[in-house]
Amino acid sequence: MSDVRKMAEEMREELSSIRRDFHSHPELSGQEYRTADKICEYLDGWGIEYRRGAADTGIVALVRGERPGKTVGIRADMDALPLTEEAGRSYGSQNPGVMHACGHDAHMTVALGAAKILQSLRGELAGNVKFFFQPAEETTGGAKRMIEAGCLENPHVDYVLGLHVSSRYEAGSVGVRYGNMMAASDEFTVVVTGKSCHGAHPDQGTDAMVAAGAVLSGLQTLVSRNLAPVNPAVCTVGKIHGGTAGNIICDRVQMDGILRSVDPRTREFLRERLRAMAENTARAYGGEAQVEFRPSYPALINTDAVVDVVKETACRLLGAEQVTLEREPDLGTEDFSYFAEARPACFWHLGCANFKRGIDADIHNCRFDLDEDCLAVGAAIQAEAALALLG
């Protein structure tokens, strides 16, 4: 066991206490005020310098080495979800209707654990380690705002590390991936318009409902008949609304959905193809279609050299059998992608499940919980990987 792993293991009870406090007091995106106060309390107690106000509630902390060198960034998101918790834990949410169902309580705890470890080793550091406690991952993309506020400068950050807990893996194991890690996404709205009339005289109008149905059916081929099967993407229409009464031909239907893809060229192609399919299909039925896109986060693309460091660190600390090399990207989205666009980076999965104890619910589930053994594992890997990147 390395010194860092031993230090992390000795913090197990402290890390559990920190995480449970965050878990009991979740706050929504942009409202992470108590959360930020608590983070600063811990940083003050450990003598770690920081500044507040990045993207409003964000915090940038700095473990400053005693010798010059590079700077590694470690990011942890802070916000919770609008969800009522049903996990039944004694440390459950005390904020009705709000829950840390995406593991951000663990992400903050892991980062704090790594910060405490590295602060105790600062006399050995040739360089610095910055910590980005980031708001609003779930909504407005707090990562981009923190970068715009200058978090990657003064001192200049050379690499960035991030992680997400995953119930696909048990605590004590991890997943890493080279290249495309997570998807880009584009929310979209399609409005199909026609001409309303009495249901007894459909020839007097243009049925937007029928046209929209054809558009919806056609979109099911957007991916399956336009992309190679090995090119991951998905088109989801999750909401559709139209009509005012059962005996009136509908003149307006709105559908809302999202496109997900991992390749920038595929992303642009899907937007162009969706627009053409919607407009031309509606026109074929005598109607019209307007399409609006709302781009979200870019694809998260890991840097191979940084993935090498994280993988080798995890293999050394946990054993190679506990490290999974992921073969497919995750089509979820993650605003860590902005950090990965700006600097060489690695985003990886920290196993948090315990299948024997029934801790296996996925994130964004009202019964989500985690095996707290993962906290020391995450803190050790992030701290050790940062040391390796500093050389």
CATH code at 226?
3.30.70.360
Ranges of H-type helices in 190-263:
208-219, 221-224
Give the mean pLDDT of 105-123.
98
145 and 38 fall within a common domain = yes
Give the mean pLDDT of 253-281.
98
188 and 274 fall within a common domain = yes
34 and 93 fall within a common domain = yes
- For residues 122 and 64, the answer to whether their CB atoms sit within 8 Å is yes
- Digit-coded pLDDT (tens) for 314-339: 999 999 999 999 999 999 999 999 99
280 and 380 fall within a common domain = no
287 and 306 fall within a common domain = no
Give the mean pLDDT of 262-291.
98
State the pLDDT at residue 87: 86
- For residues 31 and 95, the answer to whether their CB atoms sit within 8 Å is no
State the pLDDT at residue 206: 98
Q: Is the pLDDT of residue 26 over 70?
A: yes
- For residues 354 and 171, the answer to whether their CB atoms sit within 8 Å is yes
Share of the chain above pLDDT 90, in %: 98
18 and 93 fall within a common domain = yes
Write phi, then psi, for 232 (nearest 5 degrees): -70, 130
25 annotated ligand-binding residue: no
Kindly report the average pLDDT of the chain as a whole number: 97
Question: Rounded to 5 degrees, what angle do the CA atoms 144, 309, 336 make?
Answer: 15
State the pLDDT at residue 105: 99
Instruction: Give per-residue burial for 86-111: e unless 16+ CB within 10 Å, then b.
Output: ebeeebbbebeebbbbbbbbbbbbbb
State the pLDDT at residue 1: 41
Provide the 3-class DSSP secondary structure of residue 2.
coil
CA-based nearest residue to 239, from 260, 259, 253, 223: 253
Burial zone of 326 (CB within 10 Å; 0-12 exposed, 13-18 middle, 19+ buried): middle
CATH of the domain at 103: 3.40.630.10
105 and 125 fall within a common domain = yes
Give the whole-angstrom CA distance, residue 286 versus residue 187: 26
State the pLDDT at residue 140: 87
Give the mean pLDDT of 287-304.
97
**Which of 279, 295, 311 is the last residue before a domain boundary?**
295
292 is catalytic: no
Q: Is the pLDDT of residue 143 over 80?
A: yes
Of 137, 297, 338, 384, which residue is the catalytic one? 297
138 annotated ligand-binding residue: yes
**Which of 295, 330, 357 is the last residue before a domain boundary?**
295
Give the whole-angstrom CA distance, residue 114 versus residue 92: 25
Give the whole-angstrom CA distance, residue 95 versus residue 283: 50
Q: Is the pLDDT of residue 287 over 80?
A: yes
279 annotated ligand-binding residue: no
9 annotated ligand-binding residue: no
121 and 144 fall within a common domain = yes
Write phi, then psi, for 229 (nearest 5 degrees): -60, -25
**Which of 295, 319, 347 is the last residue before a domain boundary?**
295
Give the whole-angstrom CA distance, residue 26 versus residue 81: 8
Q: Alpha-carbon dihedral of residues 313, 314, 316, 322, nearest 10 degrees?
A: -160
194 and 278 fall within a common domain = yes
Q: Is the pLDDT of residue 91 over 70?
A: yes
Give the whole-angstrom CA distance, residue 245 versus residue 237: 23
CA-based nearest residue to 209, from 255, 253, 263: 253
At 215, list the tokens: 């558009």
Give the whole-angstrom CA distance, residue 343 versus residue 146: 14
78 and 198 fall within a common domain = no
Domain count, the chain: 2
Which structural domain range is residue 116 located in?
3-181+299-390
289 and 221 fall within a common domain = yes
Question: Rounded to 5 degrees, what angle do the CA atoms 141, 145, 146 make?
Answer: 110
- For residues 382 and 163, the answer to whether their CB atoms sit within 8 Å is yes
Give the mean pLDDT of 219-245.
97
State the pLDDT at residue 2: 58
34 and 173 fall within a common domain = yes
164 annotated ligand-binding residue: yes
State the pLDDT at residue 370: 97
- Digit-coded pLDDT (tens) for 28-77: 999 999 999 999 999 999 999 999 999 999 999 999 999 999 999 999 99
- For residues 196 and 301, the answer to whether their CB atoms sit within 8 Å is no
Please count the other Cβ atoms lying within 10 Å of the Cβ belonging to residue 240.
17
297 is catalytic: yes
Half-sphere exposure of 187 (CA within 13 A, CB side): 8
Of 85, 170, 372, 384, which residue is the catalytic one? 372
Give the mean pLDDT of 160-173.
98
Q: What does the chain come to in residues? A: 391
